[in-house]
């Protein structure tokens, strides 16, 4: 791949780690799990992990229980947490396609054609993004765990 090649939209590894955090918390049967334990199990630094758990707390997917026996617990049942909720908690909900004005600069003398063309591009990108979001919102973390385990314990 050339250096100038376009890189497709990608989710960060933090999204996968967030899904893993949720699965680990769910496996505790309501018993809180500490940041230190999550860090050790996932082999990532506590400070990095704190950034991910903070986003999950802000999104109200997990909550933090204070005290000596405190830690993280689910803020809602896994059957109510969708993949889209996790992705948005970690990656945000900004649109994928945000024109930078390149076409306008390249085709300065074709303003009307550029406006029409960019309108079509934005519409198609928006349609694709909506389909992607609909798909992610139709799958819960619980369904993924159930499918992966097929009756085994987490």
pLDDT tens for residues 29-77? 779 999 999 999 999 999 999 999 999 999 999 999 988 888 999 999 9
CATH of the domain at 78: 1.10.10.10
Residue 2 lies in a domain: no
Interatomic CA distance for residues 66 and 32, integer angstroms = 10
Both ends of the chain: CA-CA distance in Å?
40
Do residues 81 and 22 touch, judged by C-beta distance below 8 A? yes
Please count the structural domains in the chain: 1
Phi, psi of 89 (to 5 degrees): -65, -40
Q: Which residue has the higher pLDDT, 21 or 68?
A: 21
Do residues 52 and 85 touch, judged by C-beta distance below 8 A? no
Residue 154 lies in a domain: no
Predicted local distance difference test score (pLDDT) of residue 102: 86
Nearest by Cα to 35 from 13, 66, 78: 66
Residue 5 lies in a domain: no
Residue 38, domain extent: 13-149
Residue 1 has pLDDT above 50, yes or no: no
Residue 6 lies in a domain: no
Nearest by Cα to 93 from 64, 55, 63: 55
Residue 4 lies in a domain: no
Residue 8 lies in a domain: no
């Amino acid at each position: 791949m050339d250096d100038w090649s376009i890189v497709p939209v990608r989710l960060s590894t933090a999204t996968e780690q967030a899904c893993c955090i949720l699965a680990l918390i769910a496996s505790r049967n309501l018993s809180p799990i500490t940041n230190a334990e999550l860090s050790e199990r996932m082999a990532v630094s506590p400070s990095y992990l704190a950034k991910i758990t903070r986003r999950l707390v802000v999104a109200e997917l997990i909550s933090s229980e204070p005290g000596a026996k405190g830690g993280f617990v689910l803020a809602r049942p896994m059957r109510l947490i969708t993949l889209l909720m996790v992705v948005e908690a970690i990656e945000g909900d900004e649109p994928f396609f945000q024109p930078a004005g390149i076409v306008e600069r390249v085709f300065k003398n074709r303003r009307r054609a550029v406006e029409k063309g960019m309108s079509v591009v934005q519409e198609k990108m928006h349609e694709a993004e909506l389909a992607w979001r609909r798909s992610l919102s139709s799958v819960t973390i619980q369904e993924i765990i159930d499918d992966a385990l097929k009756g085994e314990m987490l």
